[in-house]
Amino acid sequence: MNLHLLRIFYTVAVERSFSRAADVLCISQPAVSKGVRELEHQLDIGLIERAQGAGRRQQGVQLTTNGAVLFEHARGLFALEKAAVDDLHARLGLKRGALVVGASSTIAGYWLAPVLGRFAESNPDIDLQVKVGNTESVRQALIDCQVDVALVEGEVSDSRMRCRPWLDDPLTVIAPPSLGLEDISIETLTSQCWIEREPGSGTRDVVRGLLSDCGVVPDRRIEIGSNEAIARAVASGLGLAMLPRAVVSDLITLERVVEVRLPGTSKISRPLYELEYTSRPLSPAAQAFTSLLRESATKA
């Protein structure tokens, strides 16, 4: 298999566009189209769906079933390529480098800073970058080799990954003070409007599971894609929410919101996870960073 043609196909699949792939690869769009056709000819299979129409153009490039299979193999190959280059640079004494950490929003905002500080102090020549997203987007970024280390708020079921517990994150239910809901029945909690994160959020999955375990199945839900925005929506009287306590501690202190005890529970928490893509060896910088992560967990 011609790896140059495979890289062209892979970039088209990632970018979902022939023109954007051409920009990334610094070649012409006709060269990209020709490369994909040549790879299809070599393998004697179709890789790209070529049906036309306004809907298809809006969706971008679509892969055939065979194309999707080849894409997963290509993803692993180019991840190994990046890991090999990173490792060789480190062994040659490279004084510059980069580490990209993917983190869910609560982790990035409330738990990650001390570890970043220690790493930056020990490795001043490594450029650090943090990419923030929900659990699903961080998982996908790790698969796509866009991040070197991934930390998420929800457990990930993916046979290609190892999902390792890192820290416990205390949770709490909050309500507007005007509702007077410090201690309340399951029926009343069910009748309230609950504010929750968007699909793909680890917080959303954990909260739904915990509420269900307590017998709370809200009659009405509102989605907001930020923990901080949800907290302020509760303070404004929009409804109830279960959030990491680190997010809402200031609002509780200021009496903008009140904590609500779920019947039958005392303290509630959820684990935060470190993801490892098993087909991709960790670079030396990533190894150093994960060592600091595990040290921080033992001290927490």
- State pLDDT tens for residues 244-291: 999 999 999 999 999 988 877 778 888 999 999 887 778 788 888 999
Do residues 129 and 276 share a domain?
yes
The pLDDT, as a whole number, for residue 186 is 86
The pLDDT, as a whole number, for residue 88 is 73
The pLDDT, as a whole number, for residue 242 is 94
Q: What is the dihedral of CA 19, 25, 28, 30, to 10 degrees?
A: -70
Do residues 16 and 84 share a domain?
no
Residue 170's CB is within 10 A of a number of other CB atoms, namely 12
Distance (Å) of CA 142 to CA 67, 87, 280: 20, 18, 10
CATH number at residue 214: 3.40.190.10
Do residues 232 and 95 share a domain?
no
Listed in order, strand segments (DSSP E) in 9-143 are 48-49, 62-63, 97-104, 126-133
Q: In angstroms, rounded to a whole number, what is the distance separating the alpha carbons of residues 16 and 13?
A: 5
Do residues 160 and 234 share a domain?
no
Q: What is the dihedral of CA 267, 270, 271, 272, to 10 degrees?
A: -130
> At which of 15, 44, 77 does a domain end?
77
With a cut of 60, say whether residue 82 has pLDDT above it. yes
Number of domains in the chain: 3
> At which of 43, 77, 111 does a domain end?
77
> Would you say the C-alpha torsion 157, 163, 165, 167 has a positive or negative sign?
negative
pLDDT tens digits, one per residue of 167-214 = 999 999 999 988 765 557 888 889 889 999 999 888 888 899 989 888
Residue 149's CB is within 10 A of a number of other CB atoms, namely 24
155, 261 contact by CB (below 8 A): no
More confident residue, 298 or 135: 135
The pLDDT, as a whole number, for residue 96 is 66
Do residues 232 and 294 share a domain?
no
Question: In the predicted model, what is the mean pLDDT of the chain?
Answer: 87
Do residues 47 and 188 share a domain?
no
Do residues 219 and 247 share a domain?
yes
Nearest by Cα to 153 from 175, 141, 130, 170: 170
Do residues 264 and 184 share a domain?
yes
Do residues 130 and 70 share a domain?
no
With a cut of 90, say whether residue 234 has pLDDT above it. yes
More confident residue, 85 or 53: 85
Do residues 263 and 198 share a domain?
yes
CATH number at residue 67: 1.10.10.10
> At which of 13, 48, 77 does a domain end?
77
297, 273 contact by CB (below 8 A): no
Do residues 130 and 59 share a domain?
no
With a cut of 70, say whether residue 58 has pLDDT above it. no
Do residues 111 and 197 share a domain?
no
Give residue 189's domain range: 168-269
